[in-house]
Structure 1
Amino acid sequence: MKTIVLAALTATALAPAVTAMAQDKKTVAVVCHCQQSLPMYKAFEAHLAELGWRDGENVRLVRHFSGGDPALLAASAKQAVDARPDVIFAGFTPAVITLQKHISNIPVIFAGVSDASEIGAATHFNRPEGNFTGSITINRELMPKRLEVLKEALPDLRTVGYLANPNYGLHNPQLEEMEAAAKRLGVQMVTVTTTSPAQFDAAFVELAAKGSQGLIVQQDPLFTGQASRIVALAEKHKLPTIYALRNFFDAGGLMWYGADIPATFARAADYVDRVLKGARPADLPIERPAKVYLTINGKLAQQMGVPLSPIILSRADEVIE
């Protein structure tokens, strides 16, 4: 009988402590316009764990992945906000744009965003003055530059294709900038738009039919999540292609010119760590990538019969022979 009483007293004494531990566990909502399997998202969770935040122990990760589906993204964003987490991690520009429609005071840390000011997520990079901050990819800034790199790699390039999703948040201003760059370089740009993977095959047929001699793929998650398929279609139609994200190159693509996106996702974990420890997003400056990389698959170029300029090969950070 005494043992039973002691057990009861012990359980009673431990109950407040267990409750307190449950209350102390922080909640991080994840809203990513991508698949969970993408290397960049894995980099975020891995670094968060390195910082001591382990899911199920001292933090609860509530994950929402849209897989590139806008309707699912909208529902996921609302669910995340309604749950009132301590902080939200937003992956890619569409996720940030969608969250802006629902959020007033929940801290949001982002990664995979091309231009935070253009979409209204921040007013000043050094002091965001709101509840959104994180690291940007400068992909919008780099899109005209990718056209220059492709032209340098293929000096005889006269017509370049541009595969784009018209629903992407930065589509219109980015398209204007790329068309201006094409005109400056004396290159005709053929833009083919698609809003679904079901349209990819027809889009590449159209690009080839319109005389595209090279291709640039927009940085929208619609394409990012389908890297292997995009790369295969580019090779099938013999279109030398430059990509905005490394995962296309890793899937066998010809060229990648851009920032290390997994590194920016990992860096976002540092922001989340600081917010969970009491920092305000408005006091955390938005970061630009420290370096832009150029990688070239020389082996694929040979297989496709595409002679690349020796100058561009000498400039590359990595060349697959």
Structure 2
Amino acid sequence: MERRTFMAMLTGGIVAAPLTAEAQQAAKVARIGYLSGNLASGPHLPEAFRQGLRELGYVEGRNVVIEYRDAEGKFERLPALAAELVALKVDVILAGGILSGRAAKRATRTIPIVFVAADPVGSGLVTSLARPGGNVTGLSFLAPELVGKCLEQLKQAVPGVNRVAALWQPGASGGERTEKDILRGAEVAARALGMRPQFVEARGPADIDRAFSDMTRARAGALTVLTSVMFFSERRRLVDLAAKNRLPAVYPYREFADAGGLMSYGPNVGDLSRRAATYVDKILKGAKPADLPVEQPTKFELVINLKAAKALGLTIPQSVLGRADEVIQ
């Protein structure tokens, strides 16, 4: 009797052991919600995020599941998509851009949110960069001095320019005060470089053609494009219109130069997406978003497209080429 009892306990233990191990393994599967305004405009960004997760030991389908929700450029859908992720009870939400971050923040006050966005303080996502507060933190790719630096690179690459158009989208940076600061900074920088700025706004894709007509009518000699998710999505169109109107242009992200734009100067958004995985990892391991300071870009890369320069009949000075992080032939 005692032997049978012992054997039953032993057998039961042997059977239960793997079940317990399986249960523990199943419990370790993290669920991440990925909220995007337009995945098709930057498929390399979720891939960069997944790469960051892999570097930290996460394997999709084994110990992490990513639930994607994509507004496909229809940003008004973001609140409903954010609500879907909340209903799925994901462990953390990654939000790409200000609008995605806002939608996620409105949908939940408890699920941690990690953003990669332009102006998290001005847009109200966080109370401060050092102490985000609440359930939101992440990485900012906005540096107030970036527009001035872009204009400086443009002037050095095309020294003869004296009229420059600045294409901007109202509301793109998230905060009205930040927007004013950026525009004021652009004007001061342009005049300091001996250029007359012309601010041209485009509220949506339908305004882009008209914006370029305004530039040519004002006889702009060059173009700088300010930070905007919409402009990022429409980058091929912007690059084509700049070429068609023979406008040397500087853009805030390398993706524009990759698409055929003359030059770009700014943070590497793909690298920021990869680094967002570090925030997600810390949160999954118990860190609170409120205790994780917002990371700001520290490295800016200059990319020059010589094919675009040749098409515009430009010779980029060797001093500028020598400083470039990458030269596209």
TM-score calculated relative to the size of structure 1: 0.85
Q: Deviations over 1:25-65 (max 9, x none)?
A: 32211112232553222100222133232333322211112
One-letter identity of the residue aligned with 1:209:
R
Q: Deviations over 1:221-247 (max 9, x none)?
A: 112122222211211111111111111
Unaligned runs of 5+ in 1: 1-8
- 1:261 matched to 2:255: no
Q: CA RMSD in A?
A: 2.7
Please state whether the residue corresponding to 1:288 is helix, strand or coil: coil
Measured in 2, the distance between the counterparts of 1:73 and 1:209 equals 37
Deviation at 1:19, TM superposition (A): 6.7
- 1:161 matched to 2:165: yes
Measured in 2, the distance between the counterparts of 1:219 and 1:59 equals 32
Match of 1:283 among 291, 295, 313: 291
Match of 2:231 among 215, 223, 232: 223
Find runs of 4+ consecutive structure 1 residues off by over 4 angstroms.
Answer: 12-24
Unaligned runs of 5+ in 2: 1-11
Within a 5 Å distance, the mapping from 1:42-121 to structure 2 comes to 42-111=47-116, 113-121=117-125
Measured in 2, the distance between the counterparts of 1:100 and 1:140 equals 24
Deviation at 1:251, TM superposition (A): 1.2
Q: Deviations over 1:80-131 (max 9, x none)?
A: 23433211101122222333333322211112x2232222333443443332
- 1:39 matched to 2:71: no
TM-score calculated relative to the size of structure 2: 0.83
Measured in 1, the distance between the counterparts of 2:143 and 2:70 equals 22
Compared CA separation, residues 76 and 179, structure 1 to 2 (3 A) = farther
Q: Deviations over 1:287-318 (max 9, x none)?
A: 22331111112232122113434432332222
Q: Deviations over 1:187-212 (max 9, x none)?
A: 22222222333433332222222211
Within a 5 Å distance, the mapping from 1:1-321 to structure 2 comes to 24-36=28-40, 37-111=42-116, 113-168=117-172, 169-170=174-175, 172-173=179-180, 174-321=182-329
Please state whether the residue corresponding to 2:95 is helix, strand or coil: strand
Highest CA radius of gyration, 1 or 2?
A: 2
Q: Deviations over 1:243-269 (max 9, x none)?
A: 111111111111010111111110001
Measured in 1, the distance between the counterparts of 2:141 and 2:149 equals 14
